[in-house]
């Protein structure tokens, strides 16, 4: 039996904010989409040519600090990882994400506002089974002391290890089975972070112009933390890296059935890993989920009342 649980949004949802790197104001509208559509972005501020950008690994333009998608017409959208993580973690398989600017709004630096908006309105079931991507062979990529690996598994598992010189971060490791509501409970509220020294470098290069420490990013400086009202988790940085990984892995085109291991990895390396996965013969296959596999999918069966109160009530 193949449960027909492909989902989309019940209604459109609008967000207004600024892009983290561009600092530009932007309006984003999440819209329902039919079964088989997947996730795609559309630039409504551009009138000529192809303005739709499929959320797919082969549309990623190499970038160090965020994930940027670009289509054949040169139309791009930046910083897609947090909204992609929210959609994947809530089990939204189909959506059209309209933007009137070049970058997804950063909100509070986490995926929690997106999860809250999506789940408070509920999901609409489309009557088709879910197509997932199953890892069949181990694949590893390495670059500059960072490493990313995909291993066969019977579920979505994300494992991450980080090691920062800032004492307030230090070494952190976490591994999580992403089934059902694990993303909403454990990862979605962990915020973007960086070191104080990176802020000056990024802003000198015209990046992080919309960043406000404590408001939409956590800034670490040695033993000091600029985080607004404190960290949301003691290991908030590694949780955010896992959030980013889920968002970047969602560019595979559907739920991932596999075990991802990131060691100091970033957006570019995770994308290189997906490229290597598809370049390796027999390493991945699309599979129509049976009942057992469906029950283990991220977001499967998640309902509003399961969203933790501190995430549900944040304005």
**Residues noted as catalytic:** 267
Residue 248, interface with Zn ion (CB under 5 A)?
A: no
Q: How far is the CB of 124 from Zn ion (least distance, A)?
A: 28
| The CA-based dihedral angle spanning residues 176, 178, 179, 183, taken in that order and rounded to the nearest 10 degrees | 110
Does residue 93 have a known ligand-binding role?
Answer: no
Q: How far is the CB of 127 from Zn ion (least distance, A)?
A: 34
Does residue 108 have a known ligand-binding role?
Answer: no
Q: By CB under 5 A, what part of segment 167-196 binds Zn ion?
A: 192
Residue 244, interface with Zn ion (CB under 5 A)?
A: yes
Q: Are the CB atoms for 314 and 116 separated by under 8 Å?
A: yes
Q: Which helix (H) or strand (E) holds 272?
A: helix 267-279
Question: Tokens 């972005």 — which residue?
Answer: 41
Residue 166, interface with Zn ion (CB under 5 A)?
A: no
- CA–chain centroid gap for 57, Å, is 12
Give one DSSP letter per residue of 160-187, joined into a string. EEEE-SSTTT-EEEEEEE--BTHIIIII
- Rounded to whole angstroms, how far apart are CA atoms 284 and 228? 42
Task: Choose one: 38-46, 53-61, 95-103, 240-248; the region binding Zn ion (CB under 5 A).
Answer: 240-248
**For residue 27, what are its two tokens?**
């309006």
Q: Which residues of 188-206 are buried (b: 16+ CB within 10 A; e: fewer)?
A: bbbbbbbbeeebeebeeee
Task: Choose one: 24-32, 123-131, 223-231, 237-245; the region binding Zn ion (CB under 5 A).
Answer: 237-245
Q: How far is the CB of 82 from Zn ion (least distance, A)?
A: 6
Is the Cβ of residue 8 or residue 192 nearer to Zn ion in the bound state? 192
Question: Tokens 């307030």 — which residue?
Answer: 168
- Rounded to whole angstroms, how far apart are CA atoms 54 and 89? 19
Is the Cβ of residue 67 or residue 180 nearer to Zn ion in the bound state? 67
Q: By CB under 5 A, what part of segment 27-56 binds Zn ion?
A: none
Does residue 244 have a known ligand-binding role?
Answer: yes
What residues contact 240, with CB distance under 8 A and at least 6 apart? 110, 187, 190, 191, 192, 193
Q: How far is the CB of 129 from Zn ion (least distance, A)?
A: 31
Is the Cβ of residue 108 or residue 134 nearer to Zn ion in the bound state? 108
What residues contact 159, with CB distance under 8 A and at least 6 apart? 173, 174, 175, 176, 259, 260, 261, 262
Q: How far is the CB of 80 from Zn ion (least distance, A)?
A: 10
Is the Cβ of residue 61 or residue 290 nearer to Zn ion in the bound state? 61
Size of the site for Zn ion (CB under 5 A): 2
* DSSP assignment letter at 59: G
Q: How far is the CB of 112 from Zn ion (least distance, A)?
A: 12
* Angle at 9 (CA atoms; ends 288, 27), nearest 5 degrees: 125
Is the Cβ of residue 8 or residue 15 nearer to Zn ion in the bound state? 15
Residues annotated in a binding site for Zn(2+): 82, 240, 244
Residues that bind Zn ion (CB under 5 A): 192, 244
């Amino acid at each position: 039996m193949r449960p027909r649980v492909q989902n989309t949004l019940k209604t459109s949802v609008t967000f207004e904010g600024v892009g983290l790197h561009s600092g530009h104001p932007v309006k984003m509208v999440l819209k329902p989409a039919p079964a088989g559509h997947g996730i795609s972005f559309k630039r409504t501020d551009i009138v000529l040519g192809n303005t739709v950008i499929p959320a797919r690994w082969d549309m990623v333009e190499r970038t160090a600090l965020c994930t940027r998608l670009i289509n054949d017409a040169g139309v791009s959208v930046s910083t897609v990882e947090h909204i992609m993580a929210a959609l994947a973690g809530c089990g939204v398989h189909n959506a059209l994400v309209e933007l009137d600017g070049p970058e997804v709004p950063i909100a509070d630096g986490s995926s929690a506002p997106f999860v809250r908006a999506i789940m408070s309105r509920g999901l609409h079931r489309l009557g088709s089974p879910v197509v997932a991507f199953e890892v069949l062979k181990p694949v590893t990529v390495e670059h500059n002391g960072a490493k990313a690996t995909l291993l066969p598994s019977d579920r979505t598992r994300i494992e991450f290890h980080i090691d920062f010189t800032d004492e307030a971060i230090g070494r952190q490791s976490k591994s999580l089975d992403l089934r059902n509501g694990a993303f909403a409970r454990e990862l979605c509220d962990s915020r973007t972070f960086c070191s104080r020294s990176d802020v000056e470098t990024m802003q000198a290069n015209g990046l992080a112009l919309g960043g406000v420490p404590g408001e939409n990013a956590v800034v670490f400086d040695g033993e000091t933390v600029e985080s607004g009202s404190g960290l949301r988790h003691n290991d908030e940085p590694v949780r955010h890296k896992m959030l980013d990984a889920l968002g970047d892995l969602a560019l595979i085109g559907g739920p991932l059935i596999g075990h991802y291991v990131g060691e100091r990895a970033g957006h570019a390396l995770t994308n290189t890993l997906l490229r290597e996965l598809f370049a390796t013969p027999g390493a991945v296959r699309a599979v129509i989920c049976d009942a057992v596999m469906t029950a283990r999918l991220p977001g499967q069966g998640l309902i509003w009342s399961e969203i933790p109160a501190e995430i549900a009530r944040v304005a």
